[in-house]
Amino acid sequence: MNDETKANLLNPDTWMRLLYMILFALLLVLARLVILAVAVLQFVFVLVTAKPNTSLLELGQGVSKWALQAFLFLTYNSDEKPYPFTDWPETQVIEPQEPGRSREDVKPTTTSVSSSEDVPSFITPSEGEKDNPEDNPKA
């Protein structure tokens, strides 16, 4: 055995990292259960109230971001240990969509070109313009 290999095997930092890796692997099992519970509770909440619970959104996002940090540590993509050795990941709750509507269902704002100008307008046509097809050449 050469000296470099022997030094690597006796390096206490490597063995401490192994202990942290075991700890985070076990905590990831718990995180998986928390995510499953959040998903089920969120589904029930949407069934009852027709909208997601903001607290569950934050919890799910926080645990998901923590799990990502833990996976990055386990795979040596990061040397930074996740919570509780650093701060809990910041969450940013995005306004939920209305149930039953996907992003494809949302109609984008149409562009219209006036005959007197070549610059498109990004303003949605008013109700009167929609009813008169002569004023709207695309209708």
* pLDDT digits 0-9 by tens, 5-58: 888 888 888 999 999 999 999 999 999 999 999 999 999 999 999 999 999 999
- Res 17: pLDDT: 93
- Any idea which residue has 């969450």 for tokens? 91
pLDDT at residue 124 is higher than 80: no
> What DSSP state is assigned to residue 105?
G
| Band (112; pLDDT cuts 50, 70, 90) | very low
For residue 113, give the nearest of 133, 136, 132, 134 by alpha carbon: 136
Q: What is the pLDDT of residues 66-80, one digit of tens each?
A: 999 999 999 999 999
* Distances from the Cα of 127 to the Cα of 51, 110, 130, 131, 135, angstroms: 30, 14, 5, 7, 12
- 72 and 78 in contact (C-beta within 8 Å)? yes
CB distance 120 to 111 below 8 Å: yes
